């Protein structure tokens, strides 16, 4: 399993890019899973549904299964937020995991930047950003800059730069 990320400020277009990138990678025969970071509380359950009631009653984990999918929800209940390496260990094997968000974690990534967002770029001072996908120019970026709409070029960068999971886990262990 290899891992690569998309990082950027909210509103930069990470999800839009990812939903265009996944089909391109699949067309190339690459199996892909994703990990998405959320900055706020979120819920996959609907109040009143059994799985929601199980969690509300205090279950630490609730696994929901049907003939079409299964999902495991883990309640932190005051524990610290899980780090990316811990989450990556939980995934079933695929060829490539694309991480959306987790911009401060030590995996390699493309910065997704949109000028209209009005946010500063992330890449200065961040050696884990190996390229920038944006709608503007960064002549002093010191790394490849590609147009947000050039999905083929972005796919090439992702495939060429993705790291084995073991390398990310080793780097995270060194930082602990």
Q: 3-class secondary structure for 30-60?
A: CCEEEEECCCCCCCCCCCCCHHHHHHHCCCC
Q: Total domain count for the chain?
A: 1
150 assigned to some structural domain: yes
- pLDDT tens per residue across span 19-45: 999 999 999 999 999 998 876 666 677
Domain membership of residue 147 as a residue range:
2-42+81-175
Q: Is residue 66 part of a domain?
A: no
Question: What is the rounded CA–CA span in Å between residue 102 and residue 39?
Answer: 10
**72: in domain:** no
Residue-wise pLDDT tens digits, 46-83 = 888 888 888 888 888 888 888 888 888 888 888 888 88
Does residue 73 belong to any structural domain of this protein?
no
Question: Is 171 contained in some domain?
Answer: yes
pTM here? 0.88
> How many percent of the chain have pLDDT more than 90?
54
Contact 74/91 with Cβ under 8 angstroms? no
Residue 54 lies in a domain: no
Asked, for residue 58, whether it belongs to a domain, the answer is no
Mean pLDDT over 88-94 rounds to: 90
CATH number of residue 28's parent domain: 3.40.50.300
């Amino acid at each position: 399993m290899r891992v690569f990320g998309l990082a950027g400020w909210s509103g930069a277009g990470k999800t839009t890019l990812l939903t265009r990138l996944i089909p391109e990678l699949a067309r190339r025969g690459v199996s892909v899973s994703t990990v998405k970071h959320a900055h706020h509380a979120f819920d996959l359950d609907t109040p009143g549904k059994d799985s929601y009631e199980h969690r509300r009653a205090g279950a630490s984990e609730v696994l929901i299964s049907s003939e079409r999918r299964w999902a495991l929800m883990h309640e932190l209940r005051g524990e610290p937020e899980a780090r990316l390496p811990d989450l990556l260990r939980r995934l079933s094997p695929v060829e490539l995991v694309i991480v959306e968000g987790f911009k401060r974690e030590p995996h390699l990534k493309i910065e997704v930047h949109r000028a209209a967002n009005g946010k500063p770029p992330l890449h200065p001072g961040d050696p884990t950003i190996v390229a920038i996908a944006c709608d503007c120019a960064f002549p002093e970026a010191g790394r490849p800059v590609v147009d947000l709409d050039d999905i083929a070029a972005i796919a090439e960068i992702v495939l060429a730069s993705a790291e084995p999971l073991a390398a990310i886990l080793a780097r995270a262990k060194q930082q602990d």
